[in-house]
Copies of this chain bind each other. A is one copy, B any other.
Amino acid sequence: MNTPVPAPLPTPASPDERLARAALSRTVEPGDEHAGRWLRRYGATGFLDRLLHPTRGDGTDTGPFPGTGHKRVASWRLRATAADPARDLTTVHELGGRFLVPGDTEWPRQLDDLEDARPLGLWVRGPADLRTWALRSVALVGARACTPYGAHTAADLARHGWVVVSGAAYGIDGAAHRGALAAGGATVAVLACGVDTPYPRGHDQLIRRITEQGLVVGELPPESHPTPSRFILRNRVIAALTRGTVVVEAQHRSGSLATARAAARLGRHTMGVPGPVTSALSAGVHELLRGDATLVTDADEVVELIGDMGQLAPARRGPVLPRDLLAPATAHVLEAIPARGPTPATVIAQRAGTTPDDTLAKLYELHSLGFAERHGDGWRLTNATTPASNARRGGT
């Protein structure tokens, strides 16, 4: 049997860098490519330092930031001075969350495709591992004021084993998250606000449930509110995080189309679900489908396309991630699942020596990754996880 070669370990961020990135996440707006360039030149601590300690006698307000407008630099300086990153980190830690930065094992490296618009960091709540989830995720996005047809279709597409990423908005987003949750599947909400400040308020409960069972993610520090431009820039994170974006219903000039176009620019698959030509809520999708997007009518067709990338097999064919790329705590729960017969999560928790809640979250993660499956009230390994089938997989 081949031993999979683990990916090279990323260089971990220093505590100073993490703190600086947390401060910068309050200082610059998401996707600001000016800031991205200075970050690349000076590093996070160097960039922050130059904001907090302007050199006298520069002759200009922008000082070490030539080419970036005075107003922008002035605004960064104001915000950097007011930032209290240690407090922000504490706030999120107290909610059970974390602040991921490039270099962390859990950092989804596909975000690097955003280059200078890459998020400074990601505020995350929820029990799962963002990096492994993102590897088999699909974005499902669409209109807020969707039709029952759109909601039905989104929920249906969300029930198929991949990790559903969406924006927690009303309409298609909500239907997608709910569909994934209802199927015991995995889902990630990418917010345009702080992860402690659910928006929209009407989705309080939904977002809380995603926090418990999935992942809630955002670029903005605690207590941040969404703005129109933050919604638009949030979409690039959804596009970059996922293997492909499916637009379910969208009017002309809708934000979902922007997500799909961002996905296309990043080399991700873009897909659209058609509808009646008489529906304005399908007009934007049809526009997309007249371009390079692929028409999909069901989950199999999404799998067919995403599977094309060669790194992500259809869910039903079992895991594609080598076991040793699982986060240690997840791998630990995987080892605690007995080889034969479905086993209740509580028993698995005892064997793993952790809480039932934590075990359940890890089991959902393993489920979404194809390592484990539910059977009645219990959980068991999938065929693909047994040594025999691993040998078969090696032979094909």
A interface list, Cβ under 8 A from B: 149, 152-153, 273-278, 282-283, 286, 289-290, 294-298, 301
Q: How far is the CB of A251 from chain B (nearest CB, A)?
A: 13
| A-B pairs with beta carbons under 8 Å apart, 12 shown | A149-B278, A152-B278, A153-B277, A274-B274, A274-B277, A275-B276, A275-B277, A276-B276, A283-B297, A286-B295, A286-B297, A289-B289
A301 touches B297 (CB 8 A): no
Q: How far is the CB of A331 from chain B (nearest CB, A)?
A: 38
Q: How far is the CB of A233 from chain B (nearest CB, A)?
A: 30
**A149, A278, A301: most-surrounded residue (chain B CB, <10 A):** A278
**CA–CA, A282 and B274, complex, Å:** 10
Whether A289 touches B277, Cβ cut-off 8 Å, given contacts A283-B297, A295-B295, A297-B283, is: no
- Return chain B residues, CB-CB under 8 Å to A286: 274, 295, 297
Whether A274 touches B289, Cβ cut-off 8 Å, given contacts A283-B297, A297-B283, is: yes
Q: How far is the CB of A246 from chain B (nearest CB, A)?
A: 12
**CA–CA, A274 and B152, complex, Å:** 18
Identify the closest chain B residue to A277 (Cβ). B297
Apart from A273-B277, A274-B274, 4 more pairs, CB < 8 Å:
A149-B278, A274-B286, A275-B276, A286-B297
**CA–CA, A389 and B296, complex, Å:** 46
Whether A295 touches B274, Cβ cut-off 8 Å, given contacts A289-B289, A290-B301, A301-B290, is: yes
Q: How far is the CB of A135 from chain B (nearest CB, A)?
A: 26
B278 touches A153 (CB 8 A): yes
- Return chain B residues, CB-CB under 8 Å to A152: 278
- Return chain B residues, CB-CB under 8 Å to A301: 290
Identify the closest chain B residue to A298 (Cβ). B277
- Return chain B residues, CB-CB under 8 Å to A294: 290
Q: How far is the CB of A138 from chain B (nearest CB, A)?
A: 16
Identify the closest chain B residue to A283 (Cβ). B297
A149 touches B295 (CB 8 A): no
- Return chain B residues, CB-CB under 8 Å to A283: 297
Identify the closest chain B residue to A290 (Cβ). B295
**CA–CA, A277 and B150, complex, Å:** 10
**CA–CA, A295 and B277, complex, Å:** 10
**CA–CA, A384 and B322, complex, Å:** 68
**CA–CA, A290 and B301, complex, Å:** 10
**CA–CA, A276 and B149, complex, Å:** 8
**CA–CA, A274 and B282, complex, Å:** 10
**CA–CA, A295 and B296, complex, Å:** 13
- Return chain B residues, CB-CB under 8 Å to A290: 294-296, 301
